[in-house]
Structure 1
Amino acid sequence: MNKLNSLAPPDVEQDEDLDFVAILDVLIENRRMICAIVSACFALAVLYAFLADPIFQSDIMVQVEESPDTSAAKSMLGDVSSLFDVKSTAAAESQILGSRLVVGRAVDQLNLFIQAEPRRFPVIGGWLARLDLAPFSTGFLGFTWGPETINVAKFDVPSMLEGVPFRVTVVAPHEYELSGSRLTQPIKIDVGRPQIVPTEYGDIYLEIRHIYGGIGSSFRLTRYSRDETVSEIQHALDIEEKIKDSGVLIASLQDNTALDVSRELNEIGRQYIRQNVERKSAEAAQSLAFLDERLPQIKAKLNAAQSRYTEMRNAHGVIDLTEEAKLDLGQATDAQARLLEMKQKREELRLRFGPSHPAILSLSAQINELESYQRTVEAKIKALPDSEQSAVRLLLDVQVNTDLYTSLLSSYQQLQLVKAGKTGNVRLVDVASMPDKPVKPKRLLVIAGGLAVGLAMGVIAAFLRDVLFRGVTDPNEIERRAQLGVYATIPYSTSQVDLIKQARNKKGQPSLLALNAPHEPAIESLRSLRTSIQFAMLGAKNNVVLVGGPTPGVGKSFVSANFAAVLAASGKRVLLIDMDLRKGYLHQYFDLERSFGVSDVIAGSQTLEHAIHREVASNLDFISTGVLPPAPAELLLSPAVETLIQTVSKSYDIVLIDSPPVLAVADACILAPAAGTVLLVAYSGTTKMGEITESVKRLRNAGSAVGGVVFNGMRTTGRYGYGSKYASYRYVDYKYSPKQGV
């Protein structure tokens, strides 16, 4: 490789990890795409915010009380009532509130597994109905446009038809038509009359109580699975104890309509209170059943004890007990009564709880203590005289059984009151009210979120596009990977674009940048290319330079035309030939016609002398494409092409040939062997490294070597120059200033 070709700009110290200039470049270059994505997301967010179905939320407040009974009730029921107070924690009650038992009862009571709603026009139908804007009459296009409603009392379907939508259409003032894909034919039914509809899957039971809507009103009717409906409501029901250990639960629910959400939530609260009362009554009934069995047994024991005591008195008369015997009798009676009462309570609790329940274990410990105390009292009684012992024991049996029977009888009466009670230990403090405003969608939040998402997506898309689809942006990468020298780096010129626009509007004015703005940074870069190419041509076989590019749109025609003018400005006689016989347009830069050009000379229909446009610029001649031939590649294979190039090569210092794209057609590979120097034009951010290497490979296979690369289209980025992303190139407008006398 030529030493000159291997020269590269010095490395500039930069932060490899955080290249803010490169990031800024990517964002600026893709700003239109980013704005388009942000605008699209913003529009979608606005549409969703205003057209989405509103979501309403309501809540109820439930208090879990320590003891629901009033003081009067407590005085009547005593300790028995406390046995049936449900002393559940708030956490446990929250689980019960959201249980399938409670939610399932509410679902059954309100028929929540039946969904009947008007058929609205997609997207905007619900919005129009909410605003009461009915642009069309009822039934237009098969949709409802106003505030139509329907009340379905019963809709039972076979399990195979659960979730299958049916259509209800009003056909007369008190008549509707049921249709659906699973029905053989539509069926007309009177409003308010139960109807059995046979299907291949089983019978459908339907009763529509009321329809508010004109003829043509259409509704979508669906019966869902009860279990799925219960599960959905359980999932949607939010229960929390906002203040810890307060015993107050807040249950909230969301739904599409304000009326439905309050109705559903209040029914859940009622069913929760109902199950709490039922649970307490059921426990009392269970204890009553136990006492129904025990009371006759205790009564029999009491009668037997009284009979034995009466017989003893009849046989021995009244026995006066000493003070010590009376004391022992009182202690024994009290201990025995308490022991029997605790055993009775333990038996009752065992019916409700397991043997390892804390309440049962506590009673067992107290019973053990009383039994120990009772043995002590028994020992004292044994120390009394025999006559007093017998009297004390018989009297003890009578008193204990009397107290026990009286206590159980009182408990029985109290339990009957508990069972008949209508209150539990939970109460509904606040019922669900019908909300005035929806909680979703939060329009400002949705719109802001849409903007944020759009911005994020736009930035991500910009960087993905840069990574996946962007071409080479660093000239050093070409030198490193393609092993080709970069002769010049040409910045993007907006002035050239303006000149072309002016030339279209004003005939007779050339649009060549080198002639109209010779101090443009792009032209200064071409002057650097002129110096580099002169050294590169020292060892070339001739003075013919071919300018090509991998693909269309890389700016090879711009480079060819302006480079020819720059070469001619140095005093050399230059001939520019447009040999892109497919889409060549170099003649437009000089405001010339295409006719009488290369194709005519090769075909023999025109002489070379007549095809050359003399002095299109100082020291610059030009040959256009001529009439575009139907088979350019075959025409270029003609021996006349080589003869033409050899002829003009002898008459000019430099012959510059603009060729078609290398990868698009074979024309460039046909022309390249005739040139002593081949330049390949690559466009910044467009030309990919694979396109460069493939072009070099094809030209090599054709017998020609690429001398170097012209890197075109570098875009400045304000005060950042070309930034580290572009290997730190920066162009300035350097020219003489007569005012300063330089």
Structure 2
Amino acid sequence: MNKDTQHTAKTTTDKDDDEIDLMALLLVLLRGWKVVVVFAVLGVLLGVLYSRYVNPTFKSDALIQIEENAQGIAALGESISELVGSEVSKAQTETELIRSRMILEPVIDLLHLRIRLADPNIGALDKIKYDRIATQMNTPEGVLLETDNGQAQISQFNVSQAYLNQSFTLTRSATGFVLSNGFDEFKGQLGQPQSFRGVDGQIQITVNDLPAAGYPIHILKQSLKTTTDEINSALSVVEKGKQTGIIELSMTGSDQRQVTTILKQIVLSYIDQNQSRGSAETTKTLAFMETQIPTLKEKLESSEATFNEFRKKYGTIDVGKEAELLLAENSQIDAQLNELKLKKADLTTYYTEEHPLVTQINEQLQVLNRRKQEIDSTIAGLPEIQREFLKLSEDTAINREIYLTLLKNYEQLKIVRAGQIGFARIIDLPISTFKPIAPKKLQIIILAMLLGAMLGTMLVLLKNLLKNVVKDPERLESKTGVPVIATIPHSPLLSRLSKNKKSAKRMLAHVDHNSLSYEAIKSLRTSLMFAMPTDSSTKQQGKVILITGESPGVGKSFIAANLSEVFAQLNKKVLVVDADMRLGELHEMFGMTQYNGLADYLSQGTGRQDTGRIATTNAQTVSPETNHHIETASKYPSTDITAVIHPTTMDHIDFMPRGKHPHNPASLLVSEHLGQMMDELKTQYDYIIIDSPPVLAASDAMILAQHADKVLMVTRYDDSIEGQLVYAVNQMNKANIQVDGIILNDVQQGIMSKYSYHYSYAYGNKQP
């Protein structure tokens, strides 16, 4: 074989191993389907209980639009819009603002959300029983909680800082109510404001109603931060879409009316704050104008009075054409200067001197002032009276213009403020749907079932990993060094019959003689026949086969009984010995009793001699070598062994039951009687099959193995522990006993086993 072929074969083998491992994992789960189903059902039960335990959750939502401020100021004139300015609010900024204490605190105070009421008589079983538990309802009038014995209604509860987040107990009394926290106890009247002085400060409370006497109600006053945190945990504020300016508010809770009321008040609180914020700029400008108007009016009146006195004293003065032009220009400059100064005064209320608008006005003022200085220099050459006239007339005109302009703007801003609105508007207010959004019972039950099934799957895999049961024959051979000489398939028919505890145990030849199990027993018989020693000195003696197991329940008695039956089919004389003197049940396979058996024979004294009945009755039918062994056996003192050997209903098969349960089974086996008995039995039977106790349960198998030609270890597929089997084989090896073969019993057939044998046929005649 070339290297490429070897590599291809190796790769194919690795893939096959991987596929087998995956299939084995799947089959492990299939074998543990009952555990998975139990945990899945348990998960469904827990899911149902949980869905009833938690209160339903309801949801309310609202929509708010954030838009550019529709200011009426710009419509009233460019000058006013420049004074007031504009501002655009982003939806993302507003979402954070809605969550702030500035918005939530008015709602908390209005609805008394810091007051918390609870019914301590509600337990876990009550929550499951009633499916839904009443919660408190907050209104502007107070807090209400319904109970089985009446309602509790509190309209006021204020405590000092030390009492915040501290639980109190309210109980109705004959004269009113009793408020207690475990240290202090206060008594008050229902329906009246009460004030108490406690160890840690002042308490103010107004109790309107309580349940029946003796029914307690827990009450506490939360801190503002705790309450706002609880609201924010149930409140969702997000922009709907991207750059839409639409904010979606939603809130969840255990009471639909409560959730709707709180969310509605949050929306209204935000809109009120938004509207106040939008008109704050206009209000501030009006307040500034109101302080300036009286001063300007007084200045105008003073300048007019001075000008009138001058005209009355000197009469009208004829100013030349040049003076008129200069006066007109100077007047225009003064008007521009005054207007710029007014703008600068308004702007400096919002901006600093470094602001671009303020800097621009300062530059314009410098230009106009330089021109005014030039005009003043020219006018300085006019006669003194003319200059005085010009000065007084200019002052009067300028003061009149400033006053009238400010008064006009003041009236316009008053109109704007009256119709001014915020940049946020309500699209949808929250409404009550009374349709719970949680718990989603079907989803919870399905999820709980899946989690239960996953837990069951993990348990099955973990159990399989830790237990490491017997499965792979090749693995057993590599671990123990002992060949697996037979695998006995599971017999479904025999398994169904054995479930009826009242029915007697049956053999394969009687109930399932066409099965794979029966054929496997025959294959074991063939293997043993060819593997038996053929020494010339012992070939005329019976062959002793010892069948044991590493632990109880592996099916060694089943193997012993059925193996004896297939040997008898060959017209071989077979003796089956139940050497498990403690718990042997082989007699049930043959429909006999346990008495008059091995234990009875071994426990009798050594003084009685063997009657030689067997040797006498068979002297004419045995060979000279057999007679020699009979003569040798007769030298040993023994009891009548025929008394403990019983014929069975099957031809060529005799049976020695375990006998009466002795106190010292191992001590009986090490006596001389066992060796004497075995020597005698070998002369009479072709095969002696001994069913011994498990190796790890007793040392009997090691003693009996000294007289056996073949020692077979039975283990049960997918049930026996691999480590126990290895340990049992090692224990036998330490006692210088060689285990000749392992019988893998009850191998499951079909897809439920990784190492099953999928035969579609069986040898033998089938009845129509």
**Scaled by the length of structure 1, what TM-score is found?**
0.80
Secondary structure of the corresponding residue to residue 27 of structure 1: helix
Asked whether the 8 Å contact 2:732–2:738 carries over to 1, the reply is: yes
Take 1:216 and 1:130, find their aligned partners in 2: how far apart are those partners? 26
Measured at CA, do residues 131 and 381 of structure 1 come closer, stay the same or move farther in structure 2, by a change above 3 Å? closer
1:531 aligned onto 2:532: no
Asked whether the 8 Å contact 1:520–1:733 carries over to 2, the reply is: no
Asked whether the 8 Å contact 1:683–1:713 carries over to 2, the reply is: yes
Displacement of 1:74: 6.2
Displacement of 1:81: 9.9
Q: Give the partner amino acid of 1:688.
A: I
Question: Paired residue for 1:548?
Answer: 548
Question: Paired residue for 2:151?
Answer: 149
Question: Paired residue for 1:651?
Answer: 684
Displacement of 1:319: 5.7
Asked whether the 8 Å contact 2:91–2:247 carries over to 1, the reply is: yes
Q: Give the partner amino acid of 1:238.
A: S
Measured at CA, do residues 481 and 670 of structure 1 come closer, stay the same or move farther in structure 2, by a change above 3 Å? same
Q: Give the partner amino acid of 1:387.
A: T
Question: Paired residue for 1:476?
Answer: 474
Q: Write out per-residue CA displacement over residues 593-643 of structure 1, whole angstroms, 9 at most, x where no aligned residue.
A: 111222211211774321112244332222222122344444444443344
1:387 aligned onto 2:386: no
**Match runs of 1:194-209 below 5 Å:** 194-195=193-194, 204-209=203-208
Displacement of 1:239: 0.9
Asked whether the 8 Å contact 1:107–1:113 carries over to 2, the reply is: yes
Q: Write out per-residue CA displacement over residues 171-218 of structure 1, whole angstroms, 9 at most, x where no aligned residue.
A: 55x7445556x3477x6643324455676655654432223x445544
1:701 aligned onto 2:734: yes
Displacement of 1:89: 0.8
Question: Paired residue for 1:61?
Answer: 63
Question: Paired residue for 1:190?
Answer: 189
Asked whether the 8 Å contact 2:64–2:428 carries over to 1, the reply is: yes
1:43 to 39, 45, 49: 45
Question: Percent sequence identity over matched residues?
Answer: 27
Q: Give the partner amino acid of 1:236.
A: A
Take 1:613 and 1:496, find their aligned partners in 2: how far apart are those partners? 26
Question: Paired residue for 2:515?
Answer: 520
Question: Paired residue for 1:584?
Answer: 584
Q: Write out per-residue CA displacement over residues 449-476 of structure 1, whole angstroms, 9 at most, x where no aligned residue.
A: 3333334334343333333335132222
Displacement of 1:255: 0.9
Take 2:527 and 2:659, find their aligned partners in 1: how far apart are those partners? 31
Secondary structure of the corresponding residue to residue 16 of structure 1: helix
Q: Give the partner amino acid of 1:272.
A: Y
Asked whether the 8 Å contact 2:76–2:412 carries over to 1, the reply is: no
Take 1:311 and 1:632, find their aligned partners in 2: how far apart are those partners? 151
Asked whether the 8 Å contact 1:678–1:708 carries over to 2, the reply is: yes
Q: Give the partner amino acid of 1:227.
A: K
Structure 2: runs of 5 or more not aligned: 1-11, 135-144, 382-386, 606-638
Question: Paired residue for 1:663?
Answer: 696
Q: Give the partner amino acid of 1:66.
A: E
Q: Give the partner amino acid of 1:603.
A: S
Displacement of 1:90: 1.0
Question: Paired residue for 1:4?
Answer: none
Take 2:418 and 2:283, find their aligned partners in 1: how far apart are those partners? 10
Q: Give the partner amino acid of 2:50.
A: Y
Question: Paired residue for 2:140?
Answer: none
Measured at CA, do residues 161 and 570 of structure 1 come closer, stay the same or move farther in structure 2, by a change above 3 Å? farther
Take 2:425 and 2:83, find their aligned partners in 1: how far apart are those partners? 17
Question: Paired residue for 2:618?
Answer: none
Take 1:670 and 1:397, find their aligned partners in 2: how far apart are those partners? 140
1:715 to 728, 733, 748: 748
**Count of residues paired in the alignment:** 699
Take 1:667 and 1:203, find their aligned partners in 2: how far apart are those partners? 87
Q: Write out per-residue CA displacement over residues 431-463 of structure 1, whole angstroms, 9 at most, x where no aligned residue.
A: 322332211112232233333333433434333
Asked whether the 8 Å contact 1:576–1:655 carries over to 2, the reply is: yes
Take 1:641 and 1:319, find their aligned partners in 2: how far apart are those partners? 164
1:22 aligned onto 2:44: no
Take 1:398 and 1:581, find their aligned partners in 2: how far apart are those partners? 139
Displacement of 1:27: 3.4
Measured at CA, do residues 312 and 458 of structure 1 come closer, stay the same or move farther in structure 2, by a change above 3 Å? farther
Take 2:296 and 2:592, find their aligned partners in 1: how far apart are those partners? 130
Take 1:548 and 1:684, find their aligned partners in 2: how far apart are those partners? 15
Take 1:536 and 1:555, find their aligned partners in 2: how far apart are those partners? 22
Take 1:581 and 1:197, find their aligned partners in 2: how far apart are those partners? 87
Secondary structure of the corresponding residue to residue 618 of structure 1: coil
2:232 to 231, 234, 240: 234
Measured at CA, do residues 601 and 414 of structure 1 come closer, stay the same or move farther in structure 2, by a change above 3 Å? farther
Asked whether the 8 Å contact 1:382–1:389 carries over to 2, the reply is: no
Q: Give the partner amino acid of 2:61.
A: D
Residue range with higher mean Cα deviation, 254-263 or 161-170: 161-170
Question: Paired residue for 2:492?
Answer: 494
Take 1:63 and 1:13, find their aligned partners in 2: how far apart are those partners? 63
Question: Paired residue for 1:610?
Answer: 643
Displacement of 1:425: 3.2
Take 2:712 and 2:208, find their aligned partners in 1: how far apart are those partners? 87
Residue range with higher mean Cα deviation, 436-445 or 613-622: 613-622
Question: Paired residue for 2:608?
Answer: none
Asked whether the 8 Å contact 1:673–1:703 carries over to 2, the reply is: no
Question: Paired residue for 1:136?
Answer: none
Q: Give the partner amino acid of 1:365.
A: P
Q: Give the partner amino acid of 1:26.
A: V
Question: Paired residue for 1:598?
Answer: 598
Secondary structure of the corresponding residue to residue 56 of structure 2: coil
Question: Paired residue for 2:248?
Answer: 250
Measured at CA, do residues 243 and 147 of structure 1 come closer, stay the same or move farther in structure 2, by a change above 3 Å? farther
Take 1:26 and 1:455, find their aligned partners in 2: how far apart are those partners? 14
Q: Write out per-residue CA displacement over residues 643-671 of structure 1, whole angstroms, 9 at most, x where no aligned residue.
A: 43443344333322222222234433444
Measured at CA, do residues 125 and 500 of structure 1 come closer, stay the same or move farther in structure 2, by a change above 3 Å? closer
**Scaled by the length of structure 2, what TM-score is found?**
0.77
Take 2:14 and 2:513, find their aligned partners in 1: how far apart are those partners? 30
Displacement of 1:54: 0.9
Question: Paired residue for 1:731?
Answer: 759
Question: Paired residue for 1:3?
Answer: none
Asked whether the 8 Å contact 2:494–2:511 carries over to 1, the reply is: no
Take 1:600 and 1:711, find their aligned partners in 2: how far apart are those partners? 33
Q: Write out per-residue CA displacement over residues 147-178 of structure 1, whole angstroms, 9 at most, x where no aligned residue.
A: 84322223445667655554444455x74455
Q: Write out per-residue CA displacement over residues 691-740 of structure 1, whole angstroms, 9 at most, x where no aligned residue.
A: 122112222223322222111222123xx484xx21x6333442245899
Displacement of 1:92: 0.7
1:624 aligned onto 2:657: yes
Take 2:668 and 2:394, find their aligned partners in 1: how far apart are those partners? 138
Take 1:113 and 1:735, find their aligned partners in 2: how far apart are those partners? 86
Measured at CA, do residues 642 and 430 of structure 1 come closer, stay the same or move farther in structure 2, by a change above 3 Å? same
Residue range with higher mean Cα deviation, 25-34 or 153-162: 153-162
Take 1:12 and 1:425, find their aligned partners in 2: how far apart are those partners? 72
1:445 aligned onto 2:464: no
Question: Paired residue for 1:115?
Answer: 116
Asked whether the 8 Å contact 1:673–1:702 carries over to 2, the reply is: no
Measured at CA, do residues 502 and 450 of structure 1 come closer, stay the same or move farther in structure 2, by a change above 3 Å? closer
Secondary structure of the corresponding residue to residue 596 of structure 1: coil
Asked whether the 8 Å contact 2:168–2:220 carries over to 1, the reply is: yes
Take 1:389 and 1:475, find their aligned partners in 2: how far apart are those partners? 130
Question: Paired residue for 1:7?
Answer: none
Asked whether the 8 Å contact 1:56–1:438 carries over to 2, the reply is: yes
1:463 aligned onto 2:465: no
Residue range with higher mean Cα deviation, 558-567 or 462-471: 462-471
Displacement of 1:479: 2.0
Asked whether the 8 Å contact 2:597–2:645 carries over to 1, the reply is: yes
Asked whether the 8 Å contact 1:576–1:620 carries over to 2, the reply is: yes
Asked whether the 8 Å contact 1:288–1:416 carries over to 2, the reply is: yes
Measured at CA, do residues 318 and 637 of structure 1 come closer, stay the same or move farther in structure 2, by a change above 3 Å? farther
